[in-house]
Amino acid sequence: MEENKTLKPNDAAEYIGCKYGTIMDLVRQNKIPHYRIGRRVLFKESALLKWIDEGGTSAQNIIH
């Protein structure tokens, strides 16, 4: 596994086992770790793994 692999929303949804719409709802609600480049929403695989290990909740979900 690449430590800093970047995932697009469709890939992140598949990675955690949900639909694209669900992952985008989580982004809008700031409930999943993500970052933006312009309007693009991206995810770090390592941050998603940590988020899952913590039970899918985190107070700080935006990656800086």
- Rounded average pLDDT per 10-residue block, the chain, 64 residues: 83 95 96 96 96 77 50
Q: What is the pLDDT of residue 4?
A: 83
Q: What is the pLDDT of residue 58?
A: 56
Q: What is the pLDDT of residue 64?
A: 45
d(CA 5, CA 36): 15
Q: What is the pLDDT of residue 60?
A: 54
For the whole prediction, is pTM greater than 0.75?
yes
d(CA 13, CA 9): 6
